[in-house]
Amino acid sequence: MTLIVDSVAKAFGRFPALGGVSLEAREGEFLALLGPSGSGKTTLLRILAGLETPDTGAVSFNGEDLLRLSARERRIGMVFQHYALFRHMTVAKNIAFGLSVRPRATRPSKDQVAARVADLLRLVQLEELGDRYPAQLSGGQRQRVALARALAIEPRMLLLDEPFGALDAKVRRELRRWLRKVHDETGVTTIFVTHDQEEALDLADRVAILKDGALVQIGAPQAVYDAPADAFVFDFLGGAVRLPGRVEGGRLTLGDWTSKAPTDAPLGDVQVFFRQDQASLRGPDGEGFNALVTGLVQRGPAVRIDLEGLGQSIELLLPPGEVPDQAAPGRILRVAPKAVTLFGGR
Amino acid sequence: MAITLTWLSLIVLIPLAALVIKPWELGLDGVWRTLTDDRVVAAFRLSFGAAAIAAAADAVLGLIVAWAIVRYSFPGRRLLDALVDLPFALPTAVAGIALTAIYAPNGPLGALFAQVGIKTAYSPLGVVLALTFIGLPFVVRAVQPVLEEVDREVEEAARTLGATDYQRIVRVVLPAILPAILGGVGLAFARAVGEYGSVIFIAGNLPMVSEIAPLLIIIKLEQFDYAGAAAVGLGMLVISFVALLALNLVQTWLTRRSRG
Amino acid sequence: MNRPGKLHLPGWAPLIVLLAVAGMIALVVLPLAMVFVQALGNGVGGLLAPFREPDTWSAIRLTLIVAGISVPLNAIFGLAAAWAVTRFDFAGKSLLMALIDLPFSISPVISGLVWVLLFGAQGFFGAALDAMGIKVIFTVTGLVLATVLITLPFVARELIPLMQEQGAEEEAAAMTLGASGWSTFFRVTLPNVKWALLYGVLLCNARAMGEFGAVSVVSGHIRGLTNTLPLHVEILYNEYDFVGAFAVATLLAGLGLLTLVAKSLLEWRFSGELAATRRH
């Protein structure tokens, strides 16, 4: 294990931002901290960078106590949400900054710095733009400069705060793939913060999900997606439908429809979760609970069906082939979830 | 539109045209003789020299005051912030006699300086002091909003990259606010060059030593030497204009680098 | 995230605050305090002595008259200029704005001098006016002209950035709803800028009442006739009546303080309705 975070807690005034979070990151791992705003993920990142001090807890890296080092002694590269480039310096000067502020004894020579800057510019594919000022770059280019600047100090760990937050959707997707490539080339342990579950699942080796300052679940993207630890995680990972149900005598009741309950299902009132594409839609005499179709839209490769059922609105995404001919606004159909996950309570 | 132009012509343009035309009644060499007269040269040297020194002093003190107000919270911060504008709000004649009372040899601070053999009031140093007073708000008010805008993330980035506090301030924060400092210094300088009320009492007005250029205009007017007075006035305007233009060019160059 | 970082330098912070406070006290607070200390040098009686002189009262009256004429004139000009600059596009706009700002960057003495050059005994129109029996220099007219020139930019400068920021949309909306030009102005434009206008008028008034250099040139210092308050302070001071000079100066210092308080109040209470440049 390279990074060990042990029951770290931090409060701002009376507001508890982190309530005792413990997690570990492996050598060369790409770890995502995923959570809604206010979940404490950015606070945790800033504690790792040395920009905040935890109230209690310990952070160590390869056995070394990180909390004893100031931000500037940690050699941890950080890419800020709004890049935080030095606007009065050229791209090359920005990248060279971390090397040029070293004490004279350990500062590389001018030629070495220039060579390192050239290497990094090549890595982030901005060879031609070393003499530009940040204001002359696009958002995606600035992001890459910020990354190159953080990598210049040969960080033992790289932290990224919402790295794609300020970019438009297309650039975002391109940069995501590219960032993964850079990570695989450099092999630096990388932790990034995001509130976008798709981004986290797409990019990370493991995903740590935070809520209200606590770690809810950590694991590989597929594992987390397939077996969410609780209702919050299921909901947050997206594409979820949540319905109120009841389990009695091994049977699950959803409105006017009962089916066999999963073996380990909790008893009594339950929350029934399933993914938007994990349900079948049939005519009035088929399996499932009653729901009124209110809308039907072809969206890319899938059809979005809006329904009213069990006293709430339900949104399904099905391949066109699985949508019955009767499906039309105003008609009543039957919905049968295929793979449900049950959590106790209402 | 019509009101604006008429008013502007009557109040600004025509009177200034008079200033531009009048000196040439003396002819080119008459103007030249007026401006190269020993007493005029000495007054110009004092007015522009003292204004430059005062503006530089304002840059330092103004930066410190702006820094304290923006960066730290301490009791009385808001009061200090409001007091910055006092030199704007206090009529110059009042400031003039008050500064004189303080820095005169028998004044509270003047006596202190006198003990170490420094003459403050009735000397060029007194002129510099009064001009520093008058110019301070220009620098503080120019720097303050820009300093507030310096992104906290940018400073944090410098820290994670290994910069010391000193390196962070000198290499990241100061360059970001340098254009604002220069802008404030320019305004302070322009105001100081022409300042009259707050200086006239403390200067002592000794010809060739502590006589400022605006006073020379008044003296020439009292001698009914209108053209000579206008020549001195025009000379002042031209020199300030050139100085401000130079400062402005530096400022634009600095700003353009960081704005693209 | 953009909050200014507090206390980044635990070691430096007290030092910088101390330097700032000490510098401000020595340079700014002390002179203000000195005015009142000196004025009370001979007790309350000394403070009140100059106010038993008719010359002081005529100086007060003249100051009020000059400000009472110049400030409204420049308020109207400021509104008109701000309207012209922000609502119309025309060639030479930046030149016009530079001209509006010009009086800020020229010496007050020059602002007085130019009127003497025009209307003085040997000025361009001096002889013609003399023939008609009109006097400008050494009269109230001269004082007003010099004051108007000095205070010309104050109102316009506050209004232009604000009106630029607000844009003309609301006025266009009023027009489409059938409002006439005048009622649009009085019911839409003016209410939107009223606090900024007040702010500008406040600063304009403080400068108009406190102006010294420019009026000094055109006044002629005729006691009881063309002496404004600041000039009266000078006369008393030069006559070695220091206590009297400072006593009259307390009036002006009080005006300055009042302006400062009103200004801070406006900035604090109506910051949203002043131009962005004033928000700090």
Look up the ipTM and state it: 0.89
Interface touch B163/A82, C-beta < 8 Å = no
Instruction: Find the DSSP H helices in B104-164.
Output: 108-115, 124-149, 152-160
Query: Does B94 reside within a domain?
Result: no
Q: How far apart are CA C159 and CA C100, in angstroms?
A: 12
B41 lies in which domain range?
A: 25-85+134-195+211-259
Interface of B with A in 122-161 (CB under 8 A): 151, 153-154, 156-161
Quick one: pLDDT at residue B70? 93
Residues of chain B predicted below pLDDT 50: 260
Q: How far apart are CA B179 and CA B174, in angstroms?
A: 9
C-alpha dihedral, B177 to B182 to B188 to B189, nearest 10°: 170
Interface of B with A in 227-256 (CB under 8 A): 254
* pLDDT value at A31 more than 70: yes
Q: Poorest-confidence range of A56-60, A137-141, A203-207, C126-130?
A: C126-130
Query: Does B151 reside within a domain?
Result: yes
Return the residue of A nearest to B177 by Cα.
Answer: A88
- Closest-CA distance, B80 to chain A, in angstroms, reads 27
Q: Which residue has the tokens 């303050």?
A: B144
Q: How far apart are CA C121 and CA A29, in angstroms?
A: 89
Give the angle C56-C57-C59 at the CA atoms, nearest 5°. 65
Residues in chain B, how many?
260
What are the C-alpha distances in Å from B90 to residues A12, A14, B97? 43, 45, 12
CB B130 within 8 A of CB B202: yes
- Closest-CA distance, A47 to chain B, in angstroms, reads 12
Query: Does B13 reside within a domain?
Result: no
Does the CB of B19 have a partner CB in chain C at under 8 Å? Answer: yes
Interface touch B94/C249, C-beta < 8 Å = yes
Q: Which residue has the tokens 């798709």?
A: A198
Query: Does B95 reside within a domain?
Result: no
What is the end-to-end Cα distance of chain A in Å, rounded? 39
What are the C-alpha distances in Å from A316 to residues A15, A252, A280, B33? 38, 21, 9, 93
Q: Poorest-confidence range of A49-63, A103-117, A156-170, C28-42?
A: A156-170
Which residues on B lie below 8 Å from A77 (Cβ)?
160-161
Quick one: pLDDT at residue B44? 95
Quick one: pLDDT at residue C1? 33
Interface of A with B in 83-102 (CB under 8 A): 84-89, 97-98, 101-102
Quick one: pLDDT at residue A60? 94
Which residues on C lie below 8 Å from B60 (Cβ)?
none
Q: What is the 3-state secondary structure (H, E, C) of chain C?
A: CCCCCCCCCCCCHHHHHHHHHHHHHHHHHHHHHHHHHHHCCCHHHHHHHHHHCHHHHHHHHHHHHHHHHHHHHHHHHHHHHHHHHHHCCCCCHHHHHHHHHHHHHCCHHHHHHHHHHHHCCCCCCHHHHHHHCCCCCCCHHHHHHHHHHHHCHHHHHHHHHHHHHHCCHHHHHHHHCCCCHHHHHHHHHHHHHHHHHHHHHHHHHHHHHHCCHHHHHHHCCCCCCCCCHHHHHHHHHHCCCHHHHHHHHHHHHHHHHHHHHHHHHHHHHCHHHCCHHHCC
| Most confident residue range from A39-43, A319-323, B56-60 | B56-60
Q: Which residue has the tokens 């159909």?
A: A333
Give the pTM.
0.82
Query: Does B103 reside within a domain?
Result: no
Domain count, chain B: 1
Quick one: pLDDT at residue B204? 85
Mutate to test the interface with B, among C6, C76, C86, C110 (most CBs of B within 10 A): C110
Give the angle A245-A248-A252 at the CA atoms, nearest 5°. 40
Query: Does B4 reside within a domain?
Result: no
Q: How far apart are CA B160 and CA A49, in angstroms?
A: 7
Q: Give the bridge partners for A297, in sequence order.
A: A304
Nearest in space to B24 (alpha carbons), one of B241, B235, B240:
B235
Interface touch B258/A153, C-beta < 8 Å = no
Query: Does B110 reside within a domain?
Result: no
Does the CB of B91 have a partner CB in chain C at under 8 Å? Answer: yes
Q: How far apart are CA A142 and CA A136, in angstroms?
A: 9
Which residues on C lie below 8 Å from B108 (Cβ)?
30
Contacts 24+ apart (CB under 8 A), C124-128: C124/B18, C124/B22
Q: Which two tokens stand for residue C136?
A: 């400008």
Return the residue of B nearest to A80 by Cα.
Answer: B153
Query: Does B172 reside within a domain?
Result: yes
CATH of the domain at B161: 1.10.3720.10
* pLDDT value at A25 more than 70: yes
Mutate to test the interface with B, among A48, A69, A81, A87 (most CBs of B within 10 A): A87
Nearest in space to A159 (alpha carbons), one of A10, A23, A20, A29:
A29
Return the residue of B nearest to A85 by Cα.
Answer: B154
Quick one: pLDDT at residue C2? 34
Nearest to C84 among B1, B82, B109 (CB): B1
Instruction: List, edge to edge, every strand of the sheet that includes A240-248.
Output: A257-260, A251-254, A240-248, A268-275, A341-344
CB B95 within 8 A of CB C31: yes
Quick one: pLDDT at residue A18? 92
Nearest to C102 among B12, B88, B150 (CB): B12
| Most confident residue range from A171-180, A279-288, B91-100, C45-54 | B91-100
Which residues on C lie below 8 Å from B102 (Cβ)?
30-31, 34
Q: Give the bridge partners for A192, in sequence order.
A: A32, A160
Interface touch B18/C114, C-beta < 8 Å = yes
Nearest to A84 among B157, B162, B178 (CB): B157
Nearest in space to B1 (alpha carbons), one of C158, C77, C182:
C77
Q: What is the CA radius of gyration of chain A?
A: 25
Quick one: pLDDT at residue B106? 87
Residues of chain C predicted below pLDDT 70: 1-11, 221, 224, 272, 275-280
- Closest-CA distance, C98 to chain B, in angstroms, reads 11
Does the CB of A72 have a partner CB in chain B at under 8 Å? Answer: yes
Does the CB of B166 have a partner CB in chain A at under 8 Å? Answer: no
CB B25 within 8 A of CB C120: no
